Amino acid sequence: MGEILGLGVTHYPGLSAAPGGTAGFFVKQALQNPALPEKLRTPAGWPEAMRKEWSDDEGTAAVEVHRQALIKNLREARKALDEFKPDFVLVWGDDQYENFKEDVIPPYCVLAYDSVEIHPWSGESPTFGNNAWNEPKDKAFTVKGHREAAKYLARGLLEAGIDTAYSYQPLHKPLGHAFINTVLFLDWDRKGFPYPLLPFAVNCYGSRVISWRGFNGDPNAEKDPPSPSPRRCFEMGAATARILADSPWRVALIASSSWSHAFLTSKNYFLYPDIEADKVLLKALKEGDYEVWKNRPLSAIEDSGQQELLNWFPLMGAMSALNRRVDKAEWVESWVNNSPKCFAYFNP
């Protein structure tokens, strides 16, 4: 019988920047929005917590505090991985118009790769100037896959009535940044990442995945069909846990994303995230109230800029199926760094 570790992490692109590289970036970008109400164009009109974080240095100190908190938690997540010694790690991550484009947008897809080579600093992934490790632009990493386990999982999901796409080779890009950054961040100290990766892509962006072209979308563009619902992602995760619990492997199931995103939260004029909505799900996470997660409507997810949390719904479904409650949840709040982050640990 398989053993399972559950983790929640972030793949926040800004963390890949050199120290200070994103100070004020997201807020200044939002302030260029011509639709922004006049009262929000200066800190006087912002929520108090946001004003405090912005301070008198335009978020420069806050970005370093935020950065150090993320690094600390990523090191703890890596420690948990190393102590568990998984045969492979499954990562639920979004594909933001990277590998999947106009030719096909699956609701979710098991990537059954043998291995891929990635060049994270060559322009394949969003970056903010120099990277945090001062690695050269031509630096290459080989990420091992686990095709056998991926095929086993895809077969099991289909047999369980979860209609799942699978792929043996990339289309437009070796891996989306959600997967690249998860590997890079869990190897923050560059001691190597020895665990085969099973990427499980989720169409988190749904109605905006093509019209937004990934990162710089037009909020007034015609919408695409929706993403899979939170409930369906939850059910997919539950089925994944049952299948892998009956496998011969030790598996780490990892949800990778930040929580509500300012640049997706239209009701806040894309200036700051919906932290109030995040805290509803955070409370349910800490209390083991999986019904709150399972019953969250997609409309609420989109209204709160929580699209990427669709990567967390499978983890919640998986832990619910295994009758697990979170052992530790670390919350890293930020109003000026695009999104708050959460780290969760579900021990075997």
CB 47 within 8 A of CB 335: yes
Reduce the DSSP state of residue 317 to 3 states and report it: helix
The C-alpha angle with vertex 126 and arms to 216 and 59, in degrees rounded to 5, equals 80
- The tokens for 327 are 């052992």
Distance CA 296, CA 309 (A): 11
* CA dihedral for 124, 130, 133, 137, sign (positive or negative): positive
Q: Which two tokens stand for residue 155?
A: 């077969």
Placement of tokens 């974080």 in the chain: 53
pLDDT band at 212 (very low <50, low <70, confident <90, very high): confident
Nearest to 265 by CA among 335, 174, 182: 335
Q: Which two tokens stand for residue 201?
A: 């892509």
Residue 82's pLDDT band (cuts 50, 70, 90): very high
- Pick the range with the lowest mean pLDDT from 94-103, 127-136, 149-158, 170-179: 127-136
Residues contacting residue 191 through CB under 8 Å, at least 6 positions apart:
none
Provide DSSP, 41-61.
Answer: SSGGGS-HHHHHHHTTTTTHH
pTM: 0.96
- For residue 261, give the 3-state DSSP assignment: coil
291-341 confidence digits (pLDDT tens):
999 999 999 999 999 999 999 999 999 999 999 999 999 999 999 999 999
Question: How buried is 334 (Cβ within 10 angstroms: 0-12 exposed, 13-18 middle, 19+ buried)?
Answer: buried
pLDDT tens by residue, 238-257: 999 999 999 999 999 999 99
Residue 26's pLDDT is what? 93
pLDDT band for position 222 (cuts 50, 70, 90)? confident
At how many degrees (to 10) do helices 147-159 and 230-245 cross? 120
Q: Which helix (H) or strand (E) holds 345?
A: strand 341-346
Domains in the chain: boundaries: 3-346
Instruction: Give tens-digit pLDDT for 161-185.
Output: 999 999 999 999 999 999 999 999 9
Q: Is 166 helix (H, G, I), strand (E, B) or coil?
A: strand
Count of all residues that appear for the chain in the document: 348
- Give domain 3-346's CATH architecture: 3-Layer(aba) Sandwich (3.40)
Beta-strand (E) ranges in 2-111? 3-9, 88-94, 108-111
Measure CA 186 to chain center. Answer: 13
Residue whose pair of structure tokens reads 């009758």 in the numeric block: 323
Task: Look at the alpha carbons of 89, 99, 29, 226 in this order and tell me if their dihedral is positive or negative.
Answer: negative
